[in-house]
Structure 1
Amino acid sequence: MDTLLSIGMTPEVRSRVADWSDDRTAATVWLRFVSGYAHTIRRVTRTRIAKIADPITDTSPIEAIEDAAHQIVAAIIDETQKPIPDAISDQLAEAIEAVCASWQRSPARQVRTQQSLADSQTPAVVVHAMVLPKGTSGGVGVSFSRSPVTGNPTLSGNFDDRALLPEDSQQWSALAASGLADTKKLQTLNEILGALERDLGCVARVDFVSEDERLWCVDGRPADLEPTASIRTAVDLANEGVISRQQALLGVDPDHLETVATARLSPHSETALTYGSGAAPGAASGVICLDVQAVNDARTRDLPAILVTREIRPEDVVSLGSVAGVLADRGGKASHAALVTRGIGTPAVIGASNMSIDLPNRTISVGGTVLAEGDWITLDGTTGEVFAGNLGLENQPVPEEITTLLAWADQWRTLEVWGNVDNPAAAALVRAAKGEGVGLARTEHMFSGERLSVVRQLLTTTDQRARSIALGELEEAQIGDFETLLTSMDGLPVVVRLLDPPLHEFLPDRVSVLRDIRLHATQGLDTAPLERIERAVSLYEESNPMLGMRGVRLAIVMPEIYRVQVLAALEAVRRRLDAGGDPQLHLMVPLVGSVEELTVVRNMIEEEVHQAGRLLEVSVGTMIELPRAALVADAIALQSDFFSFGTNDLTQTTLGISRDDAEEAFLRTYIDRGLLSANPFETLDIDGVGQLMKMAITKARSVNPEIKIGVCGEHGGDPASIAFFHAIGVDYVSCSPPRIASARLAAAQAAIRDSK
């Protein structure tokens, strides 16, 4: 909510302030008052106010300060036809009304969304007396009982003997070193902060004013902490007996466990070029690269690369592990690009507004700024901001206390936490994060890079011998993939999702193919191979591919691809058994909408298990990602060993909105106007999607009490969604490896709250 300062500043009060202090102080307070009144109460634009007030500095003559205040008062009258009232009661009434109205504006709605506060909650308005500094030791400051950055148990903050009001800073230091030299006042602050910390059960913040020999504490509240400080102080306060371990667990934002290990921007004053969805946290600087070849070129020159693209394509996936960051102008937090980048921990901004890519000229345009390939940009995957140039980055050390905090969390939680992987190497990340299994191995991402040409050969040729060769190459490659997965996760469950996406995603776009055909023809080159690709693109192109031939439908229409994957998975199990391992393979069939579909694929899998000639234990389950699957979950459960809710697609198909396009097109507007409390692809839509899940679980367990229930959409890493999953009896959640620690803490918080 908005804040207003110096209400009650009338000409008479201003004269008294001048008599009490001096004319400069009175003029400065008056300028601040009219500036706040203009914007917060009368809604004069910040731009108009800043144009008048920003040139004023500490050294400006009094006449300039007074002239600026006079211009702002004139702007108020110009835009509202009403002067500032002289009566203090009238000013206060207007101020209270304006602060209450700010509850419905965009900044307050964004804070409510971040803190999971309901729109229906009633705001409170606090009115208290203003205090101004005076005297040779006068000044204002902000103090903390412990460092809000590192968590060190030292009195921290800042002090300014030239300012009139306490202000937030991007950097805090030991308070004694910041200019407050009065040892008696430091001791008093330390005592007050210590008492407040014990009372609040968290790091305390006190804003204060020094006036001659007096110390005024004008505000005391819980401090906002950086992730490192949040984790460290929670453990320290519990070990010191100030709070319990349960309170320590509840006092840490789970998202801090993901962001604590990522780079962030150093303090700066740059203005963002554009904004998008912060899809994968962390900050990155690098040179603009518009394709994989440019990324490779940057690497040969030892330059960090930022891949700038319309969307992530299969041929891009192989390079994502080597780029510093990703900037895409399409998609949102649940889009394909977001899932891939978050899974490997690469900072990403998706769905950047006002950005266009000019591939022929190798440039991008953001608003009115044109940048060329090779120019430096900086992005913040946490906030979604994008900047021109090479801004500084900094890393906070990961606190040792995180291990202790997670050990406490594991003692409380009942929900298992597994990990999603896009490639075999990512399984090691799941294991390192103490994930209890792989809940989703996306096999389609294993077909990128050099294997993409094999997939295209399979899809474009009609020659049976060539198809058999391509299938054989894919089978051999997948055996290695699955063997690596099962080796890394030995003794823990690995859920392999059989091929899911539409086949056109493995082919180039039609425009590019037609362009290459024309180019080859004009150069007298053979166009037959390209024409075969064009025919395949035409064959597999669909108006609505996300609801087209993919998942289980692909298994029924083109069973050879699924059969190859099943054979490869079974051979990997056999090899691990021969090596003395403990492989726990689970095969998952995506996009099932009827028990009849699942039965066809299950029969094929069981046939191959039988043909393997030895007893191989392989469970078969399905993703629940269609509303119909939830409605007939009892029938499907009779043919399924486990369910895993694909909440990304279940949200998409239930709400009838595209996870790739909706965020940029209208979701932000809906959230901004209060039509949605949160992005449904980030936090589960409990009233809609959540009720389908609850019903499906009840139906499934009514006929198959032993069925295992999981969630493998990215909602599995969202703290608010995890609380709901805990409540409806989900057995495990699965999320990208960087979010596993956050999910472990969120699961513990859900269990603690449920026990009260």
Structure 2
Amino acid sequence: MTKYVYDFAEGSKELKDLLGGKGGNLAEMANLGLPVPPGFTVTTDACRAYLRGGDEPFGLADEIGLHLERLERQAGRRLGDPDDPLLVSVRSGAKFSMPGMMETILNVGLSDATVAGLATQTGGDERFAWDSYRRLIQMFGRTVCGVPGEAFERALDDAKRAAGTTDDLGLDAAALRGLVTRYREIFREHTGHDFPQDAREQLDRSIRAVFDSWNGERAVLYRRQEHIPADLGTAVNIVAMVFGNLGPDSGTGVAFTRDPATGATGVYGDYLANAQGEDVVAGIRNTVPLQQLAAVDKHAYDELMVIMAKLEAHYRDLCDIEFTIERGKLWMLQTRVGKRTAAAAFVIATQLVDEGVIDLDEALHRVTGAQLAQLMFPAFDLSRAPERLARGVAASPGAAVGAVVFDAKRAAALAARGERVILVRRETNPDDLPGMIAAQGILTSRGGKTSHAAVVARGMGKTCVCGADRIDVHDGHFTADGRTVAEGDIVSIDGSAGTVYLGAVPVQESPVVRYFEGTLSPGADPLVAAVDRILTHADKVRRLGVRANADTADDAARARRFGAQGIGLCRTEHMFLGERRPLVERLILAGTDDERDKALADLLPLQRADFERLFEAMNGLPVTVRLIDPPLHEFLPPLDELAVRVALEESRGEPDGHDQALLDAVHRMHEENPMLGLRGVRLGLVVPGLFAMQIRAVAEATLACRERGVTVRPEIMVPLVGAVQELEAVREEAQQLLGALGVQARVGTMIEVPRAALTAGEIARAADFFSFGTNDLTQMGWGFSRDDVEGAFFTRYLELGIFGVSPFESIDRDGVGRLVRIAVDEGRRTRPDLHIGVCGEHGGDPASIHFFHDAGLDYVSCSPFRVPVARLEAGRCAVVATGSDSR
């Protein structure tokens, strides 16, 4: 028979899967001999069984009864005893801390029959007894029975007005007795029955309410945000009540063994005299700094300091502690490894290394790539409470201030004059790239975290807020919540929070980025020193290489400064935009072989120059050049724009042959689903000379750089291969061109078509390397287009739990991940020395990096700004794999 209930003496922090974090830690403190009120824990197994069946599992009630009897013996009181009642708290406690997301009920066991006994028990303190009773009715009514909390709050406000006070402490026993009467009326009005007087009924219904709160709206939202699995369930802790609201010699507080904001050593916390725990959370009265407790109760303060030191030594980390003092007696109600800011995480980890508490492997394990990413982006100083216009999706972190501009070309022109601009669009497309590069930040009224604007912005380290649905973009202005913002007006956008502010909000620069850029030494800042130390260790222990996705020399240089070991993806199509677009149009419109060859010949020196700059920036490191991937019609103006232009020209009697030819070409190349059309390797095989021009440019750039003493390691990647014959055809052409010029280069393919993954053993015969294009592999694996579906139904899928996280943000391990594993296994079975990496957006995602490490890849490639994150996570993969001690 399943055991559903554990006394504290039976548990430990190692059982947090079963007892939850709170229950495991209460047991741990009790076993350390610390002053913990007696109690027991109902397990997460019981919660899951309850949620599955809609009722408590068989035997649970009897188990609770047995453990309740033990608790009564320990406390020397009985639940429901009218003369000397035991009161208990009923608290949630999941495996992972979810502060405030689930329910707590205090003072369970109070009733009309026991309230007088409580007063006697506390030396005749009737005020305290009636105050405790009104708190129970309020919490039980709201949590267990769904009575609106506002109804109780209004009654409390009425009582305070009648007593001429603004403070709960101003209500005497008579006023509180009257308030209890009113609370019971409110309870009956909303539930149709009286407040339950049976103590065991109160307890059982409270336990069920805590179970139910696991699926409460705020808990679900929090789990989704924090990527906490939905099937864990919560434990329930039943603990004998101790009271901090028994007068000036009682109180409650929260303490940290180090500063959770900065990591600084010392004791930090707050204390509130004559209060219960929810008073601190509710902000009913202002707390005082914990140090002031020393003046109020020196004995309790000194004991707390000893316990805090003992807990930090035991947990070997920053501890977050909740405590209550009942008439001078200190009680420990909870401890946990405390949440902290990203900066504090790095500082504390290195402090503990210096103190000999943990080693560098453990320090590396205790920080995350997500925390490092937070440290790399600037942030707003919101101390002056700026005016908020709207909120959208926090698409790319950072803080950006500038003048509103609605056109990408104008944004680029203004930026060239030294002006700081924010590009505001309904949504962005590849034509907006120059403006996106020039702008300080990007704001769109449509799209989400994986929209074009978001993906490109993150790749550039550019601040971006997407999907700000309160913003209505018009020509020359936008409106937000009734406010009109015109071009040229100043706005500030916070890509970390997804907020938009009117006016210029001061920005605080990130010292961590200055360190990566080489303008700040590690010794100049404690935080930077901690980042440098941990990241250096990560580089020492990691197996997984880290490259960058970079298309320009500037991006390549930045990637190298940030620690990239090469370029894993150079998207050559980005080299065809801007002022080179007319040459591409000539290629598309060529009616003869000579016209096509002339267009390609004109593109050749431009491509060669691009590659020379990349090779120089990455001197000695590998550069993977992906041959052109998108369909050619993406380099032409949109169909509707061309159609309008041609129609206007004809109406004026001024037809333009070039525009008409472009329109004919767009019609000719139109595809119902371009993602699955003439692109990638298919384009190279159908358009003679296109891939040959690019391969020749790589070879000639290699020769030119070598003459200047630059070491070049070129790799040519063929996109969208689905059959080995496609790769063989391009490889043969490449080897002939490279051989004729005396250049050696690896030739491989991007695995982004499911068929390629499933036939990887065959494709490996013609490939020197694989690089997974997980963006397209995800689209084709799931059968939906990222650009079309995210705004359409992803929110609903997340709500339903179909997605825990968007498969474009973090790799779908079960589906797309299985394709990756198949390709790795079969590819290496054919060719054991096959070099394998990933260059999709997932290459910079911390969770995905762990998957790629486990799958046996050789490297990940990501945007330059995510390179340090990938380095850190690759190191964390290594220490986890070797069994580093983890909290």
TM-score normalised by length of structure 1: 0.88
Shift of 1:722: 1.9
1:146 matched to 2:258? The reply is yes
What is the identity percentage for the equivalent residue pairs of Structure 1 and Structure 2?
35
Q: How does 1:239-318 map to 2 (within 5 A)?
A: 239-266=354-381, 276-296=392-412, 299=415, 304-318=420-434
Q: Equivalent residues in 2 for 1:62-461 (5 A)?
A: 80-82=191-193, 84-112=195-223, 117-128=228-239, 129=241, 131-133=243-245, 135-136=247-248, 140-160=252-272, 164=276, 165-167=279-281, 175=289, 184=298, 187-209=302-324, 213-266=328-381, 276-296=392-412, 299=415, 304-350=420-466, 352=467, 354=469, 357-360=472-475, 362-364=477-479, 371-375=485-489, 377-386=491-500, 393-394=507-508, 397-398=511-512, 399=527, 400-460=529-589
Q: Does 1:535 align with 2:535?
A: no
Residue of 741, 747, 755 corresponding to 2:868: 741
**1:535: how far off?**
2.3
Is the CA contact 2:445–2:473 (under 8 Å) kept in the aligned structure 1?
A: no
Relative to 1, partners in 2 of residues 1:157 and 1:462: Cα closer, same or farther, differing over 3 Å?
farther
Taking structure 1 as reference, are residues 176 and 99 closer, same or farther at Cα in structure 2, changes over 3 Å only?
closer
Residue in 1 that maps onto 2:144: 41
Whether contact under 8 Å (1:419, 1:435) holds in the other structure is yes
User: Does the CA contact (< 8 Å) of 1:6 and 1:130 recur in 2?
Assistant: no
Q: Which amino acid aligns with 2:281?
A: E
Q: Is 2:166 aligned against 1:59?
A: yes
d(CA) in 1 for partners of 2:593 and 2:292?
A: 77
Give the drift of 1:194. 2.1
- Residue 342 of structure 1: CA displacement? 1.0
Matches within 5 A, 1:460-539: 460=589, 462=591, 470-521=599-650, 525-539=654-668
1:8 to 108, 116, 141: 108
* 1:724 matched residue in structure 2: 851
Of stretches 681-690 and 450-459 in structure 1, the one that deviates more from structure 2 is: 450-459
Shift of 1:679: 1.8
| 2:771 alignment partner, SS class | strand
Alignment match of 1:596 (pick from 725, 731, 750): 725
Select 1:577's aligned residue among 702, 706, 717: 706
In 2, distance between residues paired with 1:574 and 1:353?
49
Deviation for aligned residue 1:270 = 8.6
Distance 1:176 1:340 in 2: 47
- What CA distance in whole angstroms lies between the structure 2 residues aligned with 1:423 and 1:226? 34
Judge conservation of contact 1:193–1:205 (CA < 8 Å) in 2.
no
Distance in 1, Cα, partners of 2:644 & 2:273: 68
Using the TM superposition, name which of 532-541 and 105-114 deviates more: 105-114
Tell me, which stretches of 5 or more residues in structure 2 are unaligned? 1-100, 513-526
Alignment partner of 1:752 is 2:863: no
Structure 1 residue 634, shift from structure 2 partner: 1.2
Q: 1:455 offset after TM fit, Å?
A: 3.0
Tell me if structure 2 keeps the 8 A contact 1:423–1:443: no
Q: Determine the C-alpha separation between the residues in 1 that align with 2:793 and 2:425.
A: 21
Q: 1:9 to 1:721 in 2, by over 3 A?
A: same
Amino acid of the structure 2 residue aligned with 1:689: V
Quick one: which amino acid aligns to residue 875 of structure 2? A
Question: 1:47: Cα distance to partner?
Answer: 8.6
Separation in 2 of the partners of 1:477 and 1:69? Answer: 83
State which of 559, 567, 571 in structure 1 corresponds to 2:696: 567
Matching residue's letter, 1:326: I
Instruction: Decide whether the 8 Å contact of 1:486 with 1:583 is kept in 2.
Output: yes
CA offset digits 1:343-369 (Å, max 9, x no partner):
11112233x163564433632557x77
Write the distance in 1 (CA, Å) between the matches of 2:842 and 2:508: 29
Question: Aligned pair in 2 of structure 1 residues 418, 528: CA closer, same or farther (>3 Å)?
Answer: same
After superposition, give the CA deviation of every residue in 1:635-678 in whole Å (9 maximum; x if it has no partner): 11111110001111111101112222323222222222222232
Q: Residue 298 of structure 1: CA displacement?
A: 6.2
CA deviation vs aligned residue, 1:354-413 (integer Å, no higher than 9, x gap): 3564433632557x7765444555444334455666556545644111111112222322
SS at match of 2:344: helix
Deviation at 1:211, TM superposition (A): 6.0
Q: After TM superposition, give the deviation of residue 248 of structure 1 in Å.
A: 1.5
Q: Looking at CA atoms only, which structure, 1 or 2, has the larger radius of gyration?
A: 2
> Secondary structure of 1:691's partner?
helix
Please, which moves more after superposition, 198-207 or 270-279?
Answer: 270-279
Paired AA for residue 593 in structure 1 = G
What's the offset of the Cα at 1:273?
6.6
- Structure 1 residue 573, shift from structure 2 partner: 0.7
Q: Are 2:424 and 2:442, in contact at CA under 8 Å, matched by a contact in 1?
A: yes
What is the TM-score normalised by the length of structure 2? 0.75
- Per-residue deviation at 1:299? 4.5
Aligned residue-pair number:
750
How far is the alpha carbon of 1:119 from its aligned partner?
A: 3.3
**2: CA distance between counterparts of 1:616 and 1:69?**
89
Is 2:761 the counterpart of 1:634? yes
- Opposite residue 627 of structure 2, the aligned amino acid is L
Asked whether the 8 Å contact 1:421–1:440 carries over to 2, the reply is yes
Preserved contact between residue 228 and residue 397 of structure 1 (Cα < 8 Å) = no
Shift of 1:438: 1.1
Contact persistence 1:279–1:348 (CA under 8 A): yes
In structure 1, list runs of 5 or more residues that go unmatched: none
Matched-pair contact (CA < 8 Å) for 2:411–2:439 = yes
Larger RCO (CA within 8 A; separation ≥ 6)? 1
- Matches of 1:48 and 1:370 in 2, distance apart? 39
Displacement after TM superposition at 1:427 (Å) = 0.9
2:105 and 2:206 in contact (8 A); partners too: no
Asked whether the 8 Å contact 1:313–1:505 carries over to 2, the reply is no
**How far 1:223 moved relative to its partner?**
1.0
C-alpha distance in 1 between matches for 2:613 and 2:665: 32
Q: Which moved more, 1:477-486 or 1:136-145?
A: 136-145
Does the CA contact (< 8 Å) of 1:209 and 1:217 recur in 2?
yes
Give the superposed CA RMSD. 3.9
Report the Cα offset of residue 2 of structure 1: 0.4
CA distance in 2, matches of 1:461, 1:72: 84
CA drift of 1:534 comes to 2.3
> Which deviates more from structure 2 when the two are superposed, residues 686-695 or residues 744-753?
744-753
User: For the residues of structure 2 that align with 1:303 and 1:33, how far apart are their CA atoms?
Assistant: 60
Does the CA contact (< 8 Å) of 2:548 and 2:867 recur in 1?
yes
Q: Distance in 1 between matches of 2:871 and 2:877?
A: 10
Q: Distance in 2 between matches of 1:493 and 1:747?
A: 19
Give the match's secondary structure for 2:424. Answer: strand
Q: Kindly state the Cα deviation for residue 297 of structure 1 after the two structures are TM-superposed.
A: 7.1
Contact kept in structure 1, 2:245 and 2:274, CA below 8 Å:
no
- Aligned-pair CA distance for 1:726: 1.6
Give the CA deviation at 1:585: 0.6
Secondary structure of 1:635's counterpart equals helix
What amino acid is aligned across from residue 239 of structure 1 in structure 2? D
